[in-house]
Amino acid sequence: MKLQSQSSIYLSSFSLIVFVLIGIVFYSLLRKLSNDELDAILQEERLEVLSNPELLLVGNQAGAPLFSRLMATEITKYPGNQEYYYDSVGLIKSTGEPNAIRCLRFYEIVQDQPIEFILFKSKLPAQQFVRQIILSIALIAGLFLLGIYLLNKFAFRRIWKDFYSTIQSLDNYNPKQKALQLKASRINEFRTLNEEIEKMTRRISETYDNLNNFTSHTTHEIQTPLAVIRLKSELLMQTSNLDNEQLELIESIGDNSRHLSQLNRSLALLFKIDHQHYSANGIFHPATGILRQLDNLNDLIELKEIKLTTVLPPDISVGIDPSLGDILVHNLVKNAIVHNQQGGILDIELNQGSLRFTNNGAEPLHPTDHYFVEFIKGPDSKGLGLGLSLIRKICEVSGLTVKYTYDKGIHQFLVTWPEKNGKLG
């Protein structure tokens, strides 16, 4: 939920509670004032009744009371000079409908006879007045909430325009570009935020450039001495009069230099993938890349006597960078061959939206997802432990998914992609 919407909800809820409380207090106050006013009128009429009770009593007994709102009843015992105010319900003579009334009960001795007098007055005008006040408060509350909604929709959106502009710039920001230059804001908080973001992106861009240059230079500079070491070790291997121990040492130097060279290239490749050095657009034909890799590794396939089966329609393509596609199928093919058993099977099946590799192999010691982590490899592996991590990384940046499963001696890698990412032709 957006900040301005959340703020509006809090403000509306608080305002509604405040209006309800104000309405309750106002209603109670109006009711008290109304009762006090009615009590004052009834008290004045009581004094009129007490000024000439005999006349009022005779009229009441004759059915023609001077006060239409007066009831007089003879009682047996005089309770004393007492009076009570209370609410009750009476009938409206004009409509015959029940109506709330305010009553005053008091007592007086008339011609040696205790009389109970009850004066009453309709509360309808006061109730109508209170009802109108409450409706007015409700209308004001409704208009206030509507005002908050309109304020949120128009005024707040204008106020937060600079903030959303900053968010949009951040969303489109790439470390490869220069530091962000954000629009100046007339709101102090947003202006401070923009200044700090500009400083941050400036540091990020500088760090990215420095790291990129360092990685590129380091990768290039390391390859040269490694190539010299490999060349010198090969020349040294051809030298005569070397015993077996010397040959083993030289061979170890060559193997480690090749291992270090491969590690250098793999780490540089991971860095480039992480930092989006490859285009997000492109068309790659998996069938062509897989056949090329199988041809390159044909000697190893024959050496391990692997039974190869392929289903590779040439018209299927995937919307990823061709260089990344080549690296992906190279690692998948190499992994399926190198970790296959002697005389094992290798099935490669390409369909619209999926690529499946199935091969024999030893049971993994850990859950299959464990091997997608950098430098994690099986106990019999002589590789770097970066092949599967490269596969997953390429799939992540290219919008593909990869799943590795093992069941009863069968390893399976399934790469899938959305239909819209795959193309025919």
**85-97 tens-digit pLDDT:** 888 887 655 556 6
pLDDT (mean) for 250-261: 74
Report the pLDDT averaged over residues 262-283.
Answer: 66
Please check the confidence at residue 424 and state whether its pLDDT lies above 50. no
Tell me the C-alpha distance between 352 and 417, whole Å: 9
Structure confidence at residue 263 (pLDDT)? 64
CA distance 302 to 342: 10
CATH 3.30.565.10 domain span(s) along the chain: 286-424
Of 282-291, 367-376, 416-425, least confident by mean pLDDT is 416-425
What average pLDDT score do residues 338-346 get? Answer: 91
Nearest residue to 170 (alpha-carbon basis) of 129, 201, 202, 141:
201
Write b or e for each residue in 110-126: b if 16 or more Cβ atoms lie within 10 A of its Cβ, otherwise e.
beeebbebbbbbebeeb
pLDDT at 376 > cutoff 60: no
pLDDT tens profile 168-191? 888 887 766 777 878 888 888 888
Question: What's the rounded Cα separation, in Å, for the pair 154 and 295?
Answer: 65
Q: Rounded to an integer, what distance in angstroms lies between the CA atom of residue 269 and that of residue 267?
A: 5
**pLDDT range class, residue 2, cuts 50, 70, 90:** low
Question: Is 100 within 8 Å of 121 (Cβ atoms)?
Answer: no
Task: List, by residue range, all CATH 1.10.287 domains of the chain.
Answer: 174-277
Architecture of the domain made up of 174-277? Orthogonal Bundle (1.10)
Which two tokens mark 48?
Answer: 């009129």
What does the pLDDT average to over 49-61? 68
- Using alpha carbons, list the distances in angstroms from residue 123 to 26, 30, 69, 105, 267: 17, 12, 13, 16, 89
The answer to whether the CB of 41 falls within 8 A of the CB of 121 is yes
**Tens-digit pLDDT profile for residues 120-145:** 887 777 667 777 777 887 888 788 77
Cβ(317)–Cβ(284) under 8 Å?
A: yes
May I ask the CATH architecture of the domain 286-424? Answer: 2-Layer Sandwich (3.30)
**CA of 96: how far to CAs of 71, 88, 89, 170, 182, in Å?**
18, 16, 12, 74, 75
Are 121 and 38 in contact, with CB atoms under 8 Å apart? yes
Tell me if 66 sits within 8 A of 55, measured CB to CB.
Answer: yes
Tokens of 87: 């609410």
* CA torsion, ordered 34, 40, 45, 46, to nearest 10 deg: 120
Higher pLDDT, 271 or 399: 399
pLDDT at 35: 83
More confident residue, 66 or 417: 417
